[in-house]
Structure 1
Amino acid sequence: MNRTKERLAARFRQGRRDDRGFASVEFAVLALVVLALVFTTIQVGLYFHARKAAQSAARHGVEAGRAFGSSEGDGVAEAQAFLAQFGGSVRGASVSSSGSSAEEIRITVRGSVATLVPGLELHVTQYADAPIERWTTP
């Protein structure tokens, strides 16, 4: 009976030794998953921030370009000025007024998003349009 207890105790001790270091492996795997989730969350935030900055620049450009006596060039210049001041998250931004007509102005902002992953390219394109203010006779 005593020998049986000794054998069980030896097996128990050996079983405990086999599990040593397993917690470190679990932690390393879990840390990778958590880091991937954190970086994905940050990247999604960067994308939506760049998208909002591009949309705001387009809106500011449209408001400047639709005023009475203004031109499409005024709208493009205002959108570029807005991006220079607030659009740091939109890299390589280009502003155009293509698609505008005599009755409507359209400002389009295109650029890329800053990324955390090398080689990943995310692009953003936002536009705004509105009727041009003009005098009409009753």
Structure 2
Amino acid sequence: MSITMAIIFPVFILVLLAVIQGCLWWYAREVAMQAAKEGVEEGRRQHGDLHAAEDQGRKVAKNLSGGMLKDPRVTPEQTKDGQLRVTVRGTSLSIVPGIGNLTITQHADGVVERWTSPSR
């Protein structure tokens, strides 16, 4: 009985840690996605303020992550066709030895609002 437990218990612990690690990775991924979405919503307002998008993305990542998304980097960019893309990169908290840092990259896109005059 004790030999069986000596074999099964470490496998059970490893599976449990893998499930917890998967949940931590998923949560950090969701935080990065929400930060990207909030950054786009802030930056797509009239004239597409990239600094506002970056600040909002960082604030959301910091407030929601609880330490699960480490070293979040928010990068807003505006294309010539009026699109705004906010990319959030970071790493997930790792509790399983030997896995290291799991890189997370999420982005959101949106159209920058602008005033136009009606065509006549």
Q: Quick check: 1:112 aligned with 2:91?
A: yes
| Residue 51 (structure 2) aligns with | 73
> Where does the alignment leave 5 or more consecutive residues of structure 1 unmatched?
1-22
Q: Which has the higher helix share?
A: 1
Whole-angstrom distance in 2 between the partners of 1:48 and 1:84: 16
Between the aligned partners of 2:69 and 2:37, the Cα distance in structure 1 is 15
2:70 counterpart residue number: 91
Structure 2 Cα separation of the partners of residues 64 and 108 of structure 1: 14
Give the CA RMSD over aligned residues: 1.2
SS in 1 for 2:71: strand
Name structure 2 gaps, 5 residues minimum.
none
The CA deviation at 1:118 is 3.5
How does the TM-score come out when normalised to structure 2? 0.90
Larger radius of gyration: 1
The alpha-carbon deviation at position 70 of structure 1 amounts to 4.6
Higher strand proportion (structure 1 or 2): 2
Whole-angstrom distance in 1 between the partners of 2:11 and 2:31: 30
Contact 2:24 2:92 in 1 (8 A): yes
Question: Aligned pairs, how many?
Answer: 115
Which of 124, 130, 138 is the aligned partner of 2:110?
130
TM (norm. structure 1) is 0.79
